[in-house]
């Protein structure tokens, strides 16, 4: 047993170096753009095991080794103060680690770090995934070549394998109109923005039976508007996101959005991330299916409606990849985020088996 002291001052026992690393990472806050302290904890784990490791220019933890497979997950979390403690999970008596990031994604991060040390696989802990994939984008630009395979770390459940993510386009729509009395019938800029957005939503409307993963879903994220400072005009700025299914490209979605009411010059695009869908029959998919069955479960093949760093990697690297990690993704960003420790243990075993198989090939 090793002793862990939480920031609250309480002391508990944690068995094994894998669980210890998990607790240490979750107990070290790492909200996006504030990952440095947690990155140093992670780098220290590799140093303690004699691995080459450094923190790069943007804050990624780089521990290169056998590029037969790259294990990678993100260090950053969303904000949220959840007391870090080990107590029963919500659905039973099983011990679970509670705390921000336990599921998204320090559970996968710790499991991959342990598997990398034990198997000699290459590893990177990236920053900024929750906001703009800053670390992932830097990694693909900085590396001279692609790894032979990638396992990206996000919660899928220890018996699940995520093969696909929708893409994303994000931007702002800006409208301006002359100021006037509110009794006048002409639309002002705020109404123009709302009308344009209604047209976009109608364009992508589908029957309820169509799976969300296969749809374009449109979501406004912010709307600001009102009189300009000089009082001579009404201005409106709407921020928005559209999720893109693998059957489409971001370029196709952008063309449709810009086609409404001749407003292309009013739209300012900020982000484009292409969707990704991997074949389950790649060597990575086969390795995971075999490892999960070896642990006594039937593999679940998943598709996620959001995006992840896997989208970034797939756009840059032509190699097989999947996303994997312990934890229930329904608890991502939730106030009750927690990870059963037995699930974490199984995920380490699965990742070790997968890495060993891929490094042998």
Catalytic residues: 76, 129
Give the bridge partners for 61, in sequence order.
55, 125
- Which DSSP string do the residues of 140-174 spell out, in sequence order? HHH-SS--S-EEEE----TTEEEEEE-EEEEEEEE
Distance, in Å, from the CA atom of 129 to the CA atom of 30, rounded to the nearest integer, reads 12
Residue 2: phi and psi, rounded to 5, are -115, 150
Residue 191: phi and psi, rounded to 5, are -65, -40
Residue 295: phi and psi, rounded to 5, are -90, 5
| 169 to 136, 162, 217, 269, 315: CA distances (angstroms) | 17, 21, 11, 8, 14
Distance, in Å, from the CA atom of 163 to the CA atom of 143, rounded to the nearest integer, reads 24
Give the bridge partners for 215, in sequence order.
none
């Amino acid at each position: 047993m090793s002793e862990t002291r939480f920031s609250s001052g309480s002391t508990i026992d944690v068995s094994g170096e894998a669980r210890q690393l998990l607790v240490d990472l979750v107990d070290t806050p790492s909200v996006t753009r504030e990952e440095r302290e947690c990155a140093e904890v992670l780098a220290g784990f590799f140093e303690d095991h004699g691995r080459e490791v450094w923190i790069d220019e943007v804050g990624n933890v780089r521990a290169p080794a056998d590029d037969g497979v790259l294990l990678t997950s993100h260090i950053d979390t969303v904000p949220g103060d959840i007391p870090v403690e080990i107590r029963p999970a919500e659905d039973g008596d099983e011990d679970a680690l509670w705390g921000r990031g336990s599921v998204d994604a320090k559970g996968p991060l710790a499991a991959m770090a342990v598997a990398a040390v034990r198997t000699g696989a290459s590893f990177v802990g990236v920053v900024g995934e929750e906001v703009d994939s800053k670390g992932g984008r830097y990694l693909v630009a900085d590396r001279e070549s692609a790894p032979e395979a990638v396992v990206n770390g996000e919660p899928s459940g220890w018996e699940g394998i995520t093969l696909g993510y929708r893409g994303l386009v994000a931007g702002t729509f800006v409208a301006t109109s002359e100021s006037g009395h509110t009794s006048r019938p002409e639309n002002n800029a705020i109404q123009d923005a709302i009308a344009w957005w209604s047209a976009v939503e109608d364009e992508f409307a589908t029957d309820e039976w169509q799976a969300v993963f296969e749809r374009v879903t449109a979501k406004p994220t912010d709307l600001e508007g009102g009189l300009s400072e000089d009082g001579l005009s009404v201005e409106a700025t709407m921020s928005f996101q559209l999720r893109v299914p693998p059957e489409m490209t971001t370029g196709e979605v952008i063309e449709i959005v810009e086609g409404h009411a001749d407003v292309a010059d009013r739209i300012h695009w900020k982000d484009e991330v292409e969707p990704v869908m991997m074949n389950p029959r790649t060597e990575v998919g086969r390795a995971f299916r075999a490892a999960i069955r070896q642990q006594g479960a039937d593999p679940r093949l998943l598709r996620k409606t959001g995006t992840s760093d896997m989208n970034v990697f797939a756009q840059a690297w032509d190699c097989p990849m999947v996303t994997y990690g312990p934890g229930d993704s329904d608890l991502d960003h939730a106030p009750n985020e927690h990870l059963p420790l037995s699930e974490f243990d199984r995920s380490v075993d699965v990742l070790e088996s997968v890495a060993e198989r891929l490094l042998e090939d």
